[in-house]
Amino acid sequence: MSTNTTKQSNNKTSHQKIWSGIVASDINDKTVVVSVSSSKIHSIYKKRFVTTKKYHVHDQSNKYKINDIVKFVETKPISKNKHYIIFEK
């Protein structure tokens, strides 16, 4: 008989995607707006272009300011638009 053992990681973010972006706004209380840029290639013309998407990220201590580079992960909904928390700076 063989037994299958599985290793469980203590790291909560092991299966979650980690985004990285620049803080675009820190006006709201406990919230920062993070701008994430990604490059894509057009399917027909094969030209590379940049797309930017903004995410509302929870910042409990209000310590992140504009132009800080942060990493964030998805979490349970905190409010209507906030579904992410800051992982590290």
For residue 16, the Cα-to-chain-centroid distance in whole angstroms is: 10
Ordered structural domains, the chain, with CATH: 18-88 (2.40.50.140)
- What pLDDT is recorded for position 6? 43
- What pLDDT is recorded for position 14? 61
| Unique residue bearing structure tokens 């132009």 | 67
- Among residues 64, 38, 42, which one has the least CA distance to residue 53? 38
Predicted structure pTM score: 0.77
Q: What is the pLDDT of residues 32-55, one digit of tens each?
A: 999 999 999 999 999 999 999 999
Residues lower than pLDDT 70 in the chain: 1-14
